[in-house]
Amino acid sequence: MDTRIEAGPLTPADSGVKVLQSRSPILLLEVSAPLGISTYVSCSSISELDLRPDAFEDTIRVCRNVLHCREIMKRLTVCFALALSLSLGSTACSSQGNSSRGCEPYCVKDFACGYKHACAVLEDGSVWCWGDNFKGQAGAAVPTGSPSLPDDNFPTIVQLEPHKVPGLPPAVSVAAGNDFSCARTAIGTVWCWGGNDTGQLGRAGTVDTLPHPEPAVVANVANATQVAAAGLVSCALLGDGTVDCWGNNNYGQLGIGTQDADPHSKPEAVTQLNSIKQITVSGMAPCALGSDGHVWCWGNNSYDQLGSTLPAGQTLSAAPLEVAGVSDGASISGGCVVTVSGTLVCWGFNTSGQIGLGDDANPVPYVAAPTEVPNLVGIAAVTTGGSFNCVLNKSGHVFCAGGNDSGELGQGTATPDGIRSFVAIKALSNIIQIEAGDLSTCALNESGVLFCWGMNAWGQLGRGNVETPPTYPATIEPVKWQ
């Protein structure tokens, strides 16, 4: 159903904007004065904008949905802001089209959600982070003597808007753990910053409880094709198909064959693994997907996270174990695998119904063996959060299940009991990537625009506040990347 948005009876003279050309997809605008942009934009369809001079006299325009109009308004805000800041008389912005997506130069090409913070890589290779910065994981300086919670004297403990991480070479991907972040460069090096109390930054021989907002290269890791992080563990997939991990090993989650409580600040090879094409790291049980479609997991198995049966009394495996019954994996996150046929197979935690099995009358708290999730077809990707999971289908739509205390499922409401089946987030379309944090989620659309929703107590949604968690997806405004 169409949603109508009141724009207000404005004229070109009121707006300070002269429309020089309005033929889609290019809008050529002349800026003559500072503006309040959000009331000056109207849209008529998903593929075009209506900014003819006479359109300003109309009070109502029909848009596909509220989020669509808001996204367009925010894209145009970037155009106007650039013109004003550069003192130019005119500038051009694109709303659609293959050569320009309307978000340049602030298009997101990769992102990651951590425990209470998030990071993104823009198309120019710069890395921006926001949210919790207590250990410097957002890349902002942390004053000496900072408290564990933000106050007026120490505002940088929480980075409310995206902050450009200084000192990094151009990056191609990012990863985020509990209190640290990592980035991978085009030449295969890995850089990390934030907390380092278990050696999770990979600074060989250096372990301490201080914040480290300044990125540093991880020792002895080269030719990395992926970096993954969660909890207090980091792993890198290398070009030869092997995997190195570093950080916390209290449940054997480094996969080096032994379990101990010592910090591991030097990357070490995971035993028995080769020909790996993707890795995933949860706080206590990492997994690896082989090029042959088989899956291996290691670490804590207290809640069936390894998808394998261990001997009686054994609750962990410090070496990788093959997950029985999975041989056609295409992608992986946590204890869930998307198969080559587009189905979803999961195991482990289901206490909130995040796997989509069971119901309120007959809950299934843990799933010991890989089980196909019913009623899901055409799945392209999966992401696993703290107590919820989301999937992306091949049509670009997102579905989520599980805990919803903070609106993690993007349904417009927060429900303490959660939802034990996958439900569509109707406000999202044309999505190409999804990533879940502990209690929040972000999704990237094909236009390079990032949407986030869920818990926001530490500003991890990048909206400039720590207000009540938004229970619906909304964009991080492109102007915040400046």
- pLDDT (tens digit, 9 = 90+) per residue, 251-296? 999 999 999 999 999 999 999 999 999 999 987 999 999 999 999 9
Question: Is 14 within the bounds of a domain?
Answer: yes
Average pLDDT over residues 124-129: 96
Which tens digit of pLDDT belongs to each residue from 7-49?
A: 233 233 333 433 333 333 323 333 333 333 322 233 322 233 3
**Closest to 382 measured CA to CA, from 465, 462, 282, 459:** 282
Question: Is 364 within the bounds of a domain?
Answer: yes
Predicted confidence (pLDDT) at residue 73 exceeds the cutoff of 80 = no
Which tens digit of pLDDT belongs to each residue from 236-248?
A: 999 999 999 999 9
Query: Residue 481's domain spans which residues?
Result: 328-482
Answer with the one of 42, 62, 94 that is the final residue of a domain.
94
Query: 51 pLDDT band (50/70/90 cuts)?
Result: very low
The rounded distance, in Å, linking the Cα atoms of 94 and 467 is 32
Query: 471 pLDDT band (50/70/90 cuts)?
Result: confident
Residues 6+ apart with CB under 8 A from 201: 180, 192, 193, 194, 195, 212, 216, 218, 234, 265
Domain count, the chain: 2
Answer with the one of 94, 110, 128 that is the final residue of a domain.
94
Q: Which residues of 258-273 are buried (b: 16+ CB within 10 A; e: fewer)?
A: ebeeebbbbbbebeeb
Could you please report the per-residue DSSP string of 254-274? T-SS---SS-EEEEEEPTT--
| pTM given for the model | 0.79
Cβ pair 378, 409 in contact under 8 A: no
Q: Residue type for 165, please?
A: V
Predicted confidence (pLDDT) at residue 83 exceeds the cutoff of 60 = no
Answer with the one of 75, 94, 113 that is the final residue of a domain.
94
Residues 6+ apart with CB under 8 A from 118: 111, 112, 129, 130, 131, 176, 437, 440, 442, 452, 460, 462
Edge-to-edge strand order for the sheet containing 158-164?
A: 108-113, 117-122, 127-132, 158-164
Q: What is the CATH number of the domain that holds 459?
A: 2.130.10.30
Question: Is 227 within the bounds of a domain?
Answer: no
Average pLDDT over residues 393-409: 96
pLDDT: which is higher, 96 or 219: 219
Question: Is 339 within the bounds of a domain?
Answer: yes
Question: Is 192 within the bounds of a domain?
Answer: no
Phi, psi of 7 (to 5 degrees): -105, -20
Query: 64 pLDDT band (50/70/90 cuts)?
Result: very low
Q: What is the pLDDT of residue 2?
A: 27
Average pLDDT over residues 357-371: 92
The rounded distance, in Å, linking the Cα atoms of 441 and 451 is 8
> Checking phi first, is residue 288 left (phi over 0); if not, alpha (psi -120 to 50) or beta?
beta
Which tens digit of pLDDT belongs to each residue from 367-389?
A: 999 999 999 999 999 999 999 99
Question: Is 437 within the bounds of a domain?
Answer: yes
Which tens digit of pLDDT belongs to each residue from 333-346?
A: 999 999 999 999 99
Assigned token pair, 409: 């499922």
Question: Is 15 within the bounds of a domain?
Answer: yes
Residues 6+ apart with CB under 8 A from 286: 228, 230, 233, 235, 245, 253, 255, 279, 280, 297, 298, 299
Predicted confidence (pLDDT) at residue 57 exceeds the cutoff of 70 = no
Question: Is 294 within the bounds of a domain?
Answer: no
Containing 380, the helix (H) or strand (E) segment is strand 379-384
pLDDT: which is higher, 258 or 470: 258
